[in-house]
Amino acid sequence: MIFASTPWTEIWQTVSIVIVSVVVWLVTRFVIHRWSSRTQRKLVKSGDLQNHARAQRLETIARTFSTLAVLAIVVIAVVTGLAVWGVPIAPIVASLSVVGIGIGFGAQDFVKDVIAGLFVLIEDQYSVGDVVELAGVSGTVIEVRLRTTVLRGLDGSVYHIPNGAVRVATNLTHETSSIVFDLAVAYEESVDRAIEVITDETIVLATDPEWGPRLVDEPTVLGVNELADSGVIVRVVMTTHPEQRWAVKREFLRRIKNRFANEGIEIPYPHLTIDSRPEET
């Protein structure tokens, strides 16, 4: 049986659209919130700084998806409601498209930053506490936002970097960190002896009760890497826990300097030789 169209019919259909939209929104919000809350609680309970940062990132992603869901539901509900009341949709859609294109051109940098930030969050390129290099600036990540990433430099400066401006993100503290030492030895010294001393000092560092646990793997002495202008370059590689790379680097350089001094191995440095001729009389 077909009912004639009456104002009450449109009203009830509109009310039904509103009710269905609200129900869909509540269900969507419940699913996103429940999944996000459970995952965040597990990450926070671990007590790990990286997991805490992942929990914050997950919260940002959940809020973003919730906002997108609201926008999608509202647009669908409005378009369906207008169709119920017999309002021509095509001109409205065309007008909105023109307005959207205009806004898109005016806010393209903003949109680019947001999209780039969303990929940073989803792909876990870096987290709070990581030391990174972004857009020519290096520092510790103190906050990852949807549009910007906030870094604190070594001098305490705070940098707000638009995510869309980052072409290459260098994470210096992701999972493990590798330190490359290029140690210079004077040409007058025996290279084999110098390598023996360096190897012994890496073993001493690796077996030290305080410094050994900061290494992930045993140090590797690769050998002669270059015959430079002022000396022979011996390369050493160490793998450390991310937050320990700078401390280990400073400690090993201190130790190798003292060890070279005790062993009588010269570290090359610039020399200036001046030859003077006696004045002719």
Ranges of each domain in the chain: 7-106, 125-171, 177-263
Q: In what order do the strands lie in the sheet with 137-144?
A: 158-162, 148-152, 137-144, 131-134, 169-171
Residue 8 in this model has a pLDDT that exceeds 60: yes
Compute the average pLDDT of residues 8-22: 84
pLDDT at 87: 72
Residue 98 in this model has a pLDDT that exceeds 70: no
**Portion of the chain with pLDDT greater than 70, in percent:** 80
pLDDT at 1: 40
**Portion of the chain with pLDDT greater than 90, in percent:** 27
Q: Do domains 125-171 and 177-263 have the same CATH topology?
A: no
Q: What is the DSSP letter of 94?
A: H
Dihedral sign computed on CA atoms, order 249, 254, 259, 265:
positive
Q: Please, which residues bridge with residue 232 across strands?
A: 185, 227
Predicted TM-score (pTM) of this structure: 0.55
Distance between CA atoms of residues 176 and 172, nearest Å: 9
pLDDT at 279: 66
- 44: amino acid identity, one letter: V
Q: Please, which residues bridge with residue 183 across strands?
A: 234
Residue 216 in this model has a pLDDT that exceeds 70: yes
Q: Determine contact, residues 180/235, Cβ cutoff 8 Å.
A: yes
pLDDT at 122: 77
Q: What is the CATH number of domain 177-263?
A: 3.30.70.100
Architecture of the domain whose range is 125-171: Roll (2.30)
Residue 178 in this model has a pLDDT that exceeds 50: yes
Instruction: Map residue 147 onto helix, strand or coil.
Output: coil
Per mean pLDDT, which range of 100-114, 129-143, 193-207, 220-234 is the poorest? 100-114
| Residue 173 phi, psi (nearest 5) | -135, 40
More confident residue, 86 or 199: 199
Distance between CA atoms of residues 17 and 21, nearest Å: 6
Name the pairing type of β-strands 220-227 and 148-152.
unpaired
Name the pairing type of β-strands 137-144 and 131-134.
antiparallel
Residue 195 in this model has a pLDDT that exceeds 70: yes
Distance between CA atoms of residues 176 and 244, nearest Å: 9
